[in-house]
Amino acid sequence: MLTSPSSVPRLVVAAPSSGSGKTTVATGLMAALTARGLAVSPHKVGPDYIDPGYHSLATGRVGRNLDAYLCGPELIGPLFAHGARGCDIAVVEGVMGMFDGAAGEGELASTAQVAKLLRAPVVLVVDASSQSRSVAALVHGFASWDPEVRIGGVILNKVASDRHEELLREALESAGVPVLGVLRRVAQVDTPSRHLGLVPVAERRAAAVKAVAAMAAQVAQGCDVEALVALARGAGVLSGAAWDAAEALASSPPPPLPSPTLGFARAGGPPSSLGAAAPGPPLSALNGPRPQSPPEGGPPDGLSENGPGDKVRVAVAGGAAFTFSYAEHAELLSAAGAEVVVFDPLRDEGLPEGTRGLVIGGGFPEVYATELSGNEALRKEVAALVESGAPVAAECAGLLYLCRELDGLPMCGVLDAGARMSERLTLGYRDAVAVSDSVLAVAGTRMRGHEFHRTVVEPGSGAAPAWGVLAPRRVEGFVERGVHASYLHTHWASEPGVARRFVERCRTS
């Protein structure tokens, strides 16, 4: 029953707040539908890298993010349709409370906004553990707050008994929202957390498989799965075509001319120069227009029209220590003419043969610092690659790995900086402008990113900083030789030229 990605049945799993049970319900529903023989497209609202790993385990497909802050609202539909190609149904897990989004930006990046952009009905997961009749007021408020959001049903979580369920159902009759599931208060599914949320699948695969199976059983036993499928079939048809990496590269503008850095000093000036800046132009003015939605087609498997010559090999760090990556990054690199090869810094003592560029994304190097430090052969090879001038893009965990040391243990020593764990959580969206020309962008390029870590790098920036962050106003990161290293996680689908520029530097370095 393959469906056009623009009309694939879909629903959004939301909640009044974090901790209500969204991940249990969404992941369990994905697994339950997959067990019925359906091809399920898994999605996550927001920048979170960890939940999509569980979604992927539940469905056998790549978990994909839908982030209206990082990518812009106009790309939500095309990116969703790209992920939903060849699928029978899609399940989208929300983020935080349904109306919570980017701070100070209204509904931007909220679950509610994404549901509207996808024309998708919403299932509200409510933690009913400490209420009975009050649940009706809660559900009524969420159902009536924004008339453009269609809440098609409620799933009651942590229900104590048959009598408790009876009281909740009786109260909700007046709210006009059907109850599509009741999950009893049982021993929590084994999904351990630590300093940045759930432990990723890559670190506990066997246990994660059992956890996903338990979630699927809870949903299959406690929810009206047929009613949920019927609700998903009521989603509206999306306009526009699915995103495609090769088409996005072809329609993206060339790297912009150097633009105002909004008061931040360019490379060569004092890195701490934070003089008052005039109001900056919008993203579209600095980066050029976002690419138009391309025609539908399969994922890129060859060179793009802009990728001359043979493919160049780009090594991408993976394994348990480096699990944070958006699938579209590898797709864009491939479309730009790269052969993407994943390696594991915990196990592999050398980079893939013929490596011309290196991408090190986010993850948990602080958890594996001893093992990463012990792999001296790989550390030396990474340092040698950098010394050769090859392009290296490092985000967050990658930044830590390139430092001189992490919690006192030797790392690659590429950057003259030390990293350590901190008790303080740094979390939030960032609006940033490139301060220095680099392998990713020219100075003045404006992008949006996300920070999520409990570590500190000292100093926080080099003589040529990577980014000037607009709020809180500061410079951060390092641009040295071919290295671009920063705490900011960015989504390259918002600026496909980043991947093209990186691959071009791989060819010429």
Active site residues: 396
Q: Where are the alpha helices (DSSP H) in 121-239?
A: 134-145, 162-172, 205-222, 225-232
Residue 117 has phi, psi (to 5 degrees) of -65, -30
**Three-class SS state of 462:** coil
Q: Starting from the edge strand earliest in sequence, which strands make up the sheet with 40-45, in order?
A: 64-66, 40-45, 89-93, 10-14, 122-127, 151-159, 179-184
Contacts of residue 415, Cβ cutoff 8 Å, sequence gap at least 6: 399, 402, 403, 404, 462, 478, 480, 483, 485
C-alpha span between 12 and 80 (Å, rounded): 12
Closest CA to 228 of 367, 326, 328, 91: 91
**Three-class SS state of 429:** strand
How many CB atoms neighbour CB 138 within 10 A? 19
Q: Write b or e for each residue in 230-256: b if 16 or more Cβ atoms lie within 10 A of its Cβ, otherwise e.
A: ebbeebeebeebbbbbbbbbbebeebb
Token pair 């043969």 in the structure block, residue: 353
C-alpha span between 398 and 483 (Å, rounded): 11
Is residue 191 within 8 Å of 171, Cβ to Cβ? no
C-alpha span between 459 and 118 (Å, rounded): 43
Q: The dihedral of CA 360, 362, 368, 369: what is its sign? A: positive
Residue 41 has phi, psi (to 5 degrees) of -95, 115
Q: How many CA atoms lie within 13 A of 375 on its CB side?
A: 21
Q: In the chain, what is the straight-line distance between the N-terminal and C-terminal CA atoms, in Å? A: 48
C-alpha span between 476 and 302 (Å, rounded): 36
**Three-class SS state of 444:** coil
Looking at the chain, how many residues does it have? 509
